[in-house]
Amino acid sequence: MWDHERIESLLRRKEDLGYRDFHGGLTKTSYDRMGVRVPDLRAMAKEIIRSGEWRGFLAVRSIIYYEHAMLAGIVTASVREPYEDKIVRLREFSSCIDDWAVCDITCSSLSSRDPRLFGDMQEFSSSAEVWLARMGLVTILGNFADREHLDRIRETIDGIRAKGYYIDMAVGWLICTVESHDEGAGIELIETSDISDEVKKIAAAKMRDSYRVTEKSKKKAKELARG
Same-domain check for residues 55 and 120: no
Same-domain check for residues 162 and 221: yes
User: Pick from 74, 94, 110: which residue ends a domain?
Assistant: 110
User: Pick from 61, 87, 110: which residue ends a domain?
Assistant: 110
Residue 65: strand pairing partners: 32
For the packed helices 4-12 and 66-78, what is the interaxial angle rounded to 10 degrees? 100
φ/ψ of residue 29, rounded to 5: -65, 150
Same-domain check for residues 93 and 61: yes
User: Pick from 53, 76, 110: which residue ends a domain?
Assistant: 110
Same-domain check for residues 59 and 121: no
Total count of domains within the chain:
2
Identify the pLDDT of residue 22.
Answer: 81
Identify the pLDDT of residue 173.
Answer: 98
Given a cut of 70, the residues of the chain with pLDDT beneath it are none
Same-domain check for residues 130 and 190: yes
For the whole prediction, is pTM greater than 0.85? yes
Query: Which residue type sits at 125?
Result: S
Long-range contacts of 21-28 (CB under 8 A, 24+ apart): 26/101, 27/66, 27/99, 27/100, 27/101, 28/99
Same-domain check for residues 204 and 146: yes
Identify the pLDDT of residue 46.
Answer: 98
Full residue range of the structural domain in which residue 184 is found: 114-227
Identify the pLDDT of residue 19.
Answer: 87
Q: What is the pLDDT of residues 15-40, one digit of tens each?
A: 999 889 887 778 889 999 999 999 99
Same-domain check for residues 84 and 174: no
Same-domain check for residues 104 and 122: no
Q: What is the pLDDT of residues 36-72, one digit of tens each?
A: 999 999 999 999 999 999 999 999 989 999 999 999 9
Same-domain check for residues 67 and 126: no
Kindly write down the DSSP assignment for every residue of 63-90, as one continuous string.
--BHHHHHHHHHHHHHS---HHHHHHHH
Rounded to whole angstroms, the Cα distance separating 107 from 59 reads 20
